[in-house]
Amino acid sequence: DVVMTQSPLSLPVTLGQPASISCRSSQSLVYSDGNTYLNWFQQRPGQSPRRLIYKVSNRDSGVPDRFSGSGSGTDFTLKISRVEAEDVGVYYCMQGTHWPPTFGGGTKVEIK
């Protein structure tokens, strides 16, 4: 299985400051169709996961533009330009290129 490694595990951030989460895969996530199926999910406390970003850098409808995704191959990043209180939660990267789909271990974002 493809191993997804996220860092850091915990990310205390000051309101209004930027935040960055790294995700590395054990294999390239480029699929035979040329797409890279790397997604980012947010899970707020007590809620279901919500997809924020798909195929590396595409923001889902309704996702604030302070969230952005980047990367290629095996190295990916989720950035929050200015953290707001509602951004508290756990963030997961997930690859859908190889079976089975696998998730990173999660990064807990909290306010300092």
Residues 35-94 that bind another protein (CB under 8 A): 37, 39, 41, 48-51, 54-55, 60, 92, 94
Whole-number minimum distance, CB 88 to another protein, in Å? Answer: 17
Strand, helix or coil at 69? strand
Token digits of residue 102? 């696998």
Whole-number minimum distance, CB 32 to another protein, in Å? Answer: 12
Whole-number minimum distance, CB 105 to another protein, in Å? Answer: 5
Pairwise CA distance, residues 43 & 92, whole Å: 8
Whole-number minimum distance, CB 51 to another protein, in Å? Answer: 5
Residues 86-105 that bind another protein (CB under 8 A): 92, 94, 96-97, 99-105
Q: How many helices (H) and strands (E) does the chain have?
A: 0, 11
Residue 26 region by backbone torsions, left for phi larger than 0, else alpha for psi between -120 and 50, else beta: alpha
Which pairs with CB-CB distance under 8 Å and at least 24 residues apart come from 60-69? 67/40, 69/38, 69/40
- Compare residues 7 and 102 and give the one whose CB is closer to another protein: 102
**Residues in touch with another protein (CB under 8 A):** 37, 39, 41, 48-51, 54-55, 60, 92, 94, 96-97, 99-106
